[in-house]
Structure 1
């Protein structure tokens, strides 16, 4: 579980305040024009025309946005427009469009948000005035200042009008937003074929114009060459000429996903909108309506193909009146819901991609969890000041402190094969913070970047991955697809992104039971692997997700990238709440069903058996007093299933769950809760690094590194990093938003605790050089590994040779007692190779107390 249910917000959207000026001496209230680029943030459930004539049409006063007589009606012609004809008295008037009976969201001249009042001159005696409002462009028009122009023709029924040749169907309404006298409309929804059209004025045939702008002119013919072609209509209000221009569609999207799909000639914008057909995108100063599109593998997708080279241009999706973020955005403007059009494939790491480090099987991995910030932010890291706490700070070589290696050189010296990055995608909180509050799943977090230019930020992340690869280390990402920073992230697109009952303890768990949400997660995973060369993922609260979906995501990734040996694992629990669908979610009990996708889970049962609770003073097996040797023996063997099967277990929390050793992630410490050293000292263990406390740290780490499965440990455990400042263990228990003085690695600790570091280094090297510690199948564990207990001492004899499973060549002994234990070794010549303090070379057959001892056959 991630550390807390409370996340501190980082970005706040400012809403322009609505205001009405006090009445003038003439008794008129004027609404000021506010200079803002904002747009309405709430859907339009009502539209009115408050103005200086309101009191004369029966309102209680003028400028009354909530007056019934000033309310427009939603049209039923499929256009989404609102309209009403009102008898306005003679005189000089002014008005605006107001949404939802208030001034919070209003539009004035030229469709400007909080724009200028629109003047309205009515002849003496009054006149019927038709007002029409378009919710996509926010243009409010009247038939005094404007013409209500419709492209009426033989194609209108194809646009969901009730009939063809319907001048009163505003689905094909032409608009003059800039007031230059030319009314325009563009669409890609008219199917291929030859069609006819005329310009109808005022929603009737009383005034209309055909060829040559003549009232008696013939129908205007035009041909749409293919489905999806763009058809542009333009009506000149001076000459009355309606011109129609069609052009071939810009071409198919470059791939089959959603978002902003770039080519130099056009960008295809796509978004899922299952509840609202009023969808648009604004890019390059123009707003484009999105139309339904058939996209294989997706449903309820809306699309617009915008010609031209839009690379690096910001864009804003809107659903209804709400600006919404693009769930597929590859880059964003920080602090906004705007995406940025990216040519992601063209942004390559400096010098091109290097080969990925080879790995034979997943059990060969040694995973090291770190935070982009924590690892290098302290000056003791030796990293250049501009790179500290940044992506490229992680891969700066040649850094030292007090004569010891730091940064990536430290990781190489230690011998880890994989780094697991705490969330490095775009999150909501400020750093220092762990980042478990996602905003944009496909965007590198800008606070971890040295750069502001989108391509530079993207390249920096790719350079980081590439440099890790050059140094023999693979890169895993901690991903948080189980919830978002808040419901504002996706709610205004559709509430279908979220579960009805929160499962994350954050109030906004994601519902991958919806096929389109599941597909979004799969697409995001694939994007990181394809475009950033990521080697795998750690899922936060994987237990919120449906096991069948996790299996499908993993299988898709492995089938798509068969040469990657991707590492995929996660927490098999939810946010500590009851889940009515628990039986089909990821738990220990459903882990066997994930074997085909090579998905593993964090082995919390083994963790607790070794160290006790994560935030208490109860010590487990490493404390020397735990009688639960059976749990240790099971974890030492990789927690294998009692019976080999890929069927789900009846007990969702059965600790014997692994179909394959790669399915158990063995650990005693992670970013959550007390780290290993703080757990030991909090529990009252004394002696310091050189005494019992330090020995207990090594004992626990040695168990993780000699058990079957995949070992995992947390940054700084290898040199006894402590998060306790001035005796404050409570902050250390949940340090997700604590300062650098708590979380940042202090590299002086490595020099002070060199003996502990040496032990970790030796144990990792032994694991990498001992095939018996990395068995690759359930069958191998069953046939080649014999485990026995003697009191609280647990011993395993292992054969590394599948052809001679009974010829044990490695013996591992866990002795939690205070006394040496005499080991009865199989026949042959044996050497003790790992002891209390690390690598040894001895003929002794004793296993020291509170130690992992490893013997190998000569």
Structure 2
């Protein structure tokens, strides 16, 4: 052992470079010894240091002279008693849980597994093979970066338009981006990407996982890959494969530069984070980090048999969020990405898992308590995917205040409605108006509802209206993977049969979904690529398809340009009219006094909808009036704000209907603003008569104008 190691400090955890050296600190409650290993540029293990200092279960030491870019890892000593949940094996090199950069791929050889293969109880037999040659390494990083005047944008959630996308898939095939940058953080911040984001008018990109993750062995064996990245190895390290300069530590500065550029253009960055499980899998999985550092601390094990793991995610393990150190890990990670990386919010994958104190999902769990008390997170966006795969895991509407949620009920209802299913009208009313049935009872606002029709998981919007069944054959699982999507649109006997009519119907249905999404109260989330008709050829579970199946096709066509323009105009319409993105739920005051009502509902006769009509299973056509005179908000100077009133007409029946128009609340005239049946000119304005023909499966938006202005159109 060399003698240069100094005692160092127990905080902060991780490897912190101060300009002259590095302080190393790692938590392990049950370890008997910890060894720091340094690697040279060739990947050979060059130096070892025993961390003799231990403070409150943190092993620490300081090494002068160490520079950014140095690779390191740990070997942790302790009992090998898997039946008790203790799996220490110093032959296995371990990634620092607090590493801010990670390099090298996993080599799926037996050496990275802590046990010997073969036999029913294989995981009980310790393997002494050195894993370092095939294991990822932690990297010391330079924390200094010139942020200049960068500040949090703090775009109000109510004003947000979220664009979910994948760092690599978004740009890898874009010919307008230099080839060396495609598929990277730098590409997201490139002029071509910025032009697209600005053309659309989105306010935030929600990036699918960028925490360092690994490739699953079963996918590698099939020649596939974990494209989505929900297989986290390091919660502080940006994925090195998305860096144009490689994974030697530059991924940190390139990520920061991306955020800085997007902020300069008024675009926030939201991260899809996976704190519910890690890449180490179940008791038969590899030993890469947490499992060998402190298995019982970091993972939920079965109370009566800690050899095995609790699994609420379907991936083999669940993080033990009941333990203070795991809560600290999550909070330190969140704070790091906010304070050091300047991100603006988080979408928590399978967030119900994080709320499980014992077994049941608990709204008052320690995870929520500690987040709500943290001032760093007070102004960032917190979005839950409010379910997991465990019993009682579907928790849409049940997350606490300060949280927004992916509203799965919105997705399901809107799909069923436009498919033409019976009995959707009552539920549709809630979804169009911000889902007050889910979020009003605890004082939350409409913007607690993150509305979406499609997301990365499932059909793209183009495929949703084109396929009746999934086509996941390329995943190598005999098309058995992925959910059976019951909401895909089958035209069947009631739909068009001529090819040109079918194509028109599909284009109209795409526009129906986009218009419904962007005209609903709540926060719209667009699945990236839907605005240009992206297809996965019917694959609704493309997690393993790092190829043209998932990549965005940037080939210019008139159809794509028209759809992009359509989406952008919808976003502009929403942005320009606060009546379309209200901060409070509708009060529905005085249903028979339209001028004083926030909202009114109409049948095709032009009469207000009666109570019985809401539950009429056959009814598929409805009008929704939004009164622009009742916003009850003020501008920055305290002056009351008014807006145009709107009448939204929806017809999910396959046949056209005649809609008799009600009087406009301000005494003006209704003017057609949008008609999804007009594929070429959907936003062509024009005056209306007392009765309109609403084509089958189409949508119209009418705006109230003063009578004389309307007549001039």
TM over 0.5: same fold?
yes
The equivalent position to 1:328 in structure 2, one of 98, 119, 132, is 98
Q: Using the alignment, how far apart are the partners of 2:373 and 2:525 within structure 1?
A: 25
Residue 290 of structure 1 deviates from its aligned partner by 4.2
The equivalent position to 1:408 in structure 2, one of 172, 194, 202, is 194
TM-superposition CA deviations, 1:335-376 (whole Å, max 9, x none): 3343222232x1346xx35455462x2111111111111111
Confirm or deny: 8 A CA contact 2:300 2:318 kept in the other structure.
yes
Question: Given the alignment of the two structures, is residue 555 of structure 1 paired with residue 372 of structure 2, yes or no?
Answer: yes
TM-superposition CA deviations, 1:708-738 (whole Å, max 9, x none): 11100111111211110xxxx3xx1211112
Residue 280 of structure 1 deviates from its aligned partner by 2.9
Question: Given the alignment of the two structures, is residue 839 of structure 1 paired with residue 683 of structure 2, yes or no?
Answer: yes
* 1:303 aligned partner: 60
Q: Using the alignment, how far apart are the partners of 2:145 and 2:247 within structure 1?
A: 12
Residue 766 of structure 1 deviates from its aligned partner by 0.5
Question: Given the alignment of the two structures, is residue 631 of structure 1 paired with residue 471 of structure 2, yes or no?
Answer: no
The equivalent position to 2:29 in structure 1, one of 274, 293, 302, is 274
Confirm or deny: 8 A CA contact 1:811 1:855 kept in the other structure.
yes
* 1:166 aligned partner: none
Q: Using the alignment, how far apart are the partners of 2:652 and 2:226 within structure 1?
A: 38
Residue 455 of structure 1 deviates from its aligned partner by 4.4
Residue 739 of structure 1 deviates from its aligned partner by 4.1
Q: Using the alignment, how far apart are the partners of 2:54 and 2:627 within structure 1?
A: 61
Q: Using the alignment, how far apart are the partners of 1:266 and 1:780 within structure 2?
A: 62
Confirm or deny: 8 A CA contact 1:688 1:694 kept in the other structure.
no
* 1:601 aligned partner: 405
Confirm or deny: 8 A CA contact 2:625 2:645 kept in the other structure.
no
Confirm or deny: 8 A CA contact 2:430 2:437 kept in the other structure.
no
* 1:226 aligned partner: none
Question: Given the alignment of the two structures, is residue 856 of structure 1 paired with residue 697 of structure 2, yes or no?
Answer: no
- The TM-score with structure 2 as length reference comes to 0.72
Q: Using the alignment, how far apart are the partners of 2:507 and 2:464 within structure 1?
A: 12
The equivalent position to 2:142 in structure 1, one of 343, 346, 364, is 343
- Number of paired residues? 557
Q: Using the alignment, how far apart are the partners of 2:588 and 2:347 within structure 1?
A: 25
Q: Using the alignment, how far apart are the partners of 1:453 and 1:602 within structure 2?
A: 32
Change (3 A) 1:750 1:491: farther
Please identify which structure carries the higher strand content: 1
* 1:816 aligned partner: 652
Q: Using the alignment, how far apart are the partners of 1:375 and 1:515 within structure 2?
A: 38
Confirm or deny: 8 A CA contact 1:356 1:470 kept in the other structure.
no
Mapping of residues 54-133 of structure 1, within 5 Å? none
Confirm or deny: 8 A CA contact 2:25 2:61 kept in the other structure.
yes
Change (3 A) 1:290 1:774: farther
* 1:672 aligned partner: 457
TM-superposition CA deviations, 1:67-99 (whole Å, max 9, x none): xxxxxxxxxxxxxxxxxxxxxxxxxxxxxxxxx
Q: Using the alignment, how far apart are the partners of 2:501 and 2:337 within structure 1?
A: 43
Which structure is larger by alpha-carbon Rg, 1 or 2? 1
Residue 815 of structure 1 deviates from its aligned partner by 2.7
Change (3 A) 1:839 1:357: farther
* 2:237 aligned partner: 443
Confirm or deny: 8 A CA contact 2:433 2:585 kept in the other structure.
no
Change (3 A) 1:573 1:688: farther
* 1:499 aligned partner: 300
Confirm or deny: 8 A CA contact 2:242 2:251 kept in the other structure.
no
The equivalent position to 1:681 in structure 2, one of 456, 462, 466, is 466
* 1:371 aligned partner: 166
Structure 1 stretches lacking a partner, 5+ long: 1-176, 179-183, 188-229, 231-248, 295-299, 400-406, 612-619, 647-657
Confirm or deny: 8 A CA contact 1:780 1:802 kept in the other structure.
no
Structure 2 stretches lacking a partner, 5+ long: 39-45, 78-89, 106-134, 216-223, 282-286, 302-309, 356-362, 469-489, 590-595, 604-618, 634-639, 706-713
Confirm or deny: 8 A CA contact 1:601 1:665 kept in the other structure.
yes
Change (3 A) 1:751 1:524: farther
Residue 305 of structure 1 deviates from its aligned partner by 3.2
Q: Which moved more, 1:748-757 or 1:474-483?
A: 748-757
Residue 793 of structure 1 deviates from its aligned partner by 2.9
Q: Using the alignment, how far apart are the partners of 1:796 and 1:540 within structure 2?
A: 36
Confirm or deny: 8 A CA contact 1:638 1:664 kept in the other structure.
yes
Q: Which moved more, 1:818-827 or 1:680-689?
A: 680-689
Q: Using the alignment, how far apart are the partners of 1:310 and 1:590 within structure 2?
A: 47
* 1:715 aligned partner: 528
Q: Using the alignment, how far apart are the partners of 1:519 and 1:688 within structure 2?
A: 58
1:491 counterpart SS class: helix
Residue 645 of structure 1 deviates from its aligned partner by 4.0
Q: Using the alignment, how far apart are the partners of 2:534 and 2:236 within structure 1?
A: 32
1:742 counterpart SS class: coil
- The TM-score with structure 1 as length reference comes to 0.60
Question: Given the alignment of the two structures, is residue 797 of structure 1 paired with residue 626 of structure 2, yes or no?
Answer: yes
Mapping of residues 151-300 of structure 1, within 5 Å? 256-283=11-38, 285-294=47-56, 300=57
TM-superposition CA deviations, 1:732-761 (whole Å, max 9, x none): 121111242211111226533333222211
Q: Which moved more, 1:434-443 or 1:770-779?
A: 770-779
The equivalent position to 2:263 in structure 1, one of 459, 463, 469, is 469
* 2:385 aligned partner: 571
* 2:636 aligned partner: none
Confirm or deny: 8 A CA contact 1:784 1:802 kept in the other structure.
no
Question: Given the alignment of the two structures, is residue 520 of structure 1 paired with residue 348 of structure 2, yes or no?
Answer: no
Question: Given the alignment of the two structures, is residue 313 of structure 1 paired with residue 70 of structure 2, yes or no?
Answer: yes
**With CA pairs under 8 Å and 6+ residues apart, which has the higher RCO, 1 or 2?**
2
TM-superposition CA deviations, 1:308-356 (whole Å, max 9, x none): 4543322222221243211110012323343222232x1346xx35455
Change (3 A) 1:477 1:644: closer
Change (3 A) 1:780 1:415: farther
Q: Using the alignment, how far apart are the partners of 2:14 and 2:23 within structure 1?
A: 8
Q: Using the alignment, how far apart are the partners of 2:248 and 2:527 within structure 1?
A: 31
Report the aligned-residue RMSD.
3.0
Q: Using the alignment, how far apart are the partners of 2:528 and 2:519 within structure 1?
A: 19
Confirm or deny: 8 A CA contact 1:815 1:847 kept in the other structure.
no
Mapping of residues 420-431 of structure 1, within 5 Å? 420-429=206-215
Change (3 A) 1:822 1:550: farther
Change (3 A) 1:377 1:780: farther
* 1:660 aligned partner: 445
Residue 303 of structure 1 deviates from its aligned partner by 2.3
Change (3 A) 1:570 1:749: farther
Question: Given the alignment of the two structures, is residue 747 of structure 1 paired with residue 554 of structure 2, yes or no?
Answer: yes
Change (3 A) 1:806 1:447: closer
* 2:665 aligned partner: 826
Residue 507 of structure 1 deviates from its aligned partner by 0.7
Residue 779 of structure 1 deviates from its aligned partner by 7.0
Q: Using the alignment, how far apart are the partners of 1:535 and 1:568 within structure 2?
A: 9
* 1:535 aligned partner: 344
Q: Using the alignment, how far apart are the partners of 1:443 and 1:666 within structure 2?
A: 30
Confirm or deny: 8 A CA contact 1:538 1:569 kept in the other structure.
yes
Q: Using the alignment, how far apart are the partners of 1:623 and 1:513 within structure 2?
A: 43
Q: Using the alignment, how far apart are the partners of 2:559 and 2:161 within structure 1?
A: 24
